[in-house]
Structure 1
């Protein structure tokens, strides 16, 4: 019954030719990895779109994901208690939605301390955050939001916060295992010294993702954020009404 309902939803959502390609992608991938049957059509569509509808490239990407998933998340999810040191830094707050219904992540770059981080734990933390953000999206269906947005605040960021290995690891996870999930990132209060790190990371960002990073000048900050985020969902530190709450390390999700 659930499978039939999904098929009906899919049939009413978007381009029939694209859904035909999704079916082809499923057939090609499932022949090599039967666990593909556990993934819904909307997930396959994101992988297809991430590779510009090239079945071969999308299948290779999907197979890599199917191999990664049980290793990265052997219990299906990574609880906050397993990444407690990262959570304790309160560098990411998963609260609010933008005007397009995308769940927001408010991030604070100066709270990240690479000298005290374990790279493997940091990678698990990234997966934890992405899964928690995706969980705030509506169930898959016609016209429903599939992406998230973020405000990356770099006020006070300095060389002690610079973590090229960490940035590249996070980028790799997001681009390869959570394709077509990122909608927009507003980079605010960006210090000049950050641009040196950005120049190193930038070549590793795929072309479609590059367009989603928006550097916001201080003089345009209020207007830009208010155009994208309703006052009730905008953090108090930016003049909105949303009170940010630090995440708890003992959260089971």
Structure 2
């Protein structure tokens, strides 16, 4: 009852907004499901109506200021540059869960972010978010005959190294955009192929996370194949085994031991621009660009997007990760030096 009252209060506040641009961008956000969007922002602020209202208004301002509604009409061109982005910012759609949720694969460890400027990587990430919300999720809802508004993410930590610290600023910017403007879009995060460096950081970061966030994160053994295909789900009166997804929906790095996040441009690799998902997404953006050109000329080149100030708690977590990486680097150097033998 308290949650229903919070939804009504936030709905009333949003209905009182007079700015037509805000109304329009809110429509583009909720895709015909305004209540679900209100609930997402309320969850992100622990059902505090005033905080959720501020968060949502800030999000609408951000969308208007950065013309997010038209970002899908700004494909990264030429195609060779977009391929370079896809080869160094590893993300893809590998399939759907048993419940119809899109399975998003992310190659955290092998993403290098070194083939283009930071603006292109941030632009690409936001385009993936918008394509997911405007195309993938509505299509999944239609296919499975029920409203689907969230996805599953499988994060592959293969290849994670201390050099990832060089990209901490960009990754923090991407995370901040997601946290403040696309809250509660992921049902569960599955972490696979986790090396020691991740395990060490996870022990330090986990206690800092909100309980709601911790419940969403599952660190699986090895490549996670067996647990993703058949895991335990707890119900009120019984414990039963249930499949999360079929084998065909597993990302390539989960299919066999030691496969890792292959960066070869094969059709089986869901990160590759040659994969059906990326081909459809890129063609969609090019078509949107043609439609936009018919209305008014558009600039080519990267899109500059303002990154909001991170939430203080999120900033603290990012600082902790950076500090832990630096400690691991120093410890690794000490271990290396202590292992050296010198001729007397």
* 1:147 equivalent among 140, 143, 150: 150
The answer to whether the 8 A contact 1:168-1:204 is kept is no
In the alignment, which residue of structure 1 is the partner of 2:7? 22
* 1:37 equivalent among 23, 30, 45: 23
Structure-to-structure mapping, 1:79-158, within 5 angstroms: 79-81=74-76, 84=82, 85-89=84-88, 91-134=90-133, 135-138=135-138, 144-158=147-161
The alpha-carbon distance between structure 1 residues 205 and 73, as it changes in their structure 2 partners (threshold 3 A), is: farther
The alpha-carbon distance between structure 1 residues 144 and 158, as it changes in their structure 2 partners (threshold 3 A), is: same
In the alignment, which residue of structure 2 is the partner of 1:239? 255
In the alignment, which residue of structure 1 is the partner of 2:170? 166
Shift of 1:66: 0.5
Between the aligned partners of 1:93 and 1:54, the Cα distance in structure 2 is 34
TM-score w.r.t. length of structure 1: 0.77
TM-score w.r.t. length of structure 2: 0.58
The alpha-carbon distance between structure 1 residues 105 and 214, as it changes in their structure 2 partners (threshold 3 A), is: same
Structure 1 residues 135-144 or 157-166, which shifts more? 135-144
> Number of matched residues?
236
The answer to whether the 8 A contact 1:164-1:201 is kept is no
Between the aligned partners of 1:155 and 1:118, the Cα distance in structure 2 is 24
Output one character per residue of 1:49-103: Cα deviation in whole Å (capped at 9) or x when no partner: 2222221011011011010112334453334426824224361112301222211
Between the aligned partners of 2:42 and 2:5, the Cα distance in structure 1 is 11
The answer to whether the 8 A contact 2:150-2:187 is kept is yes
Q: Which runs of 5+ in 2 are unaligned?
A: 27-33, 231-243, 257-266, 286-344
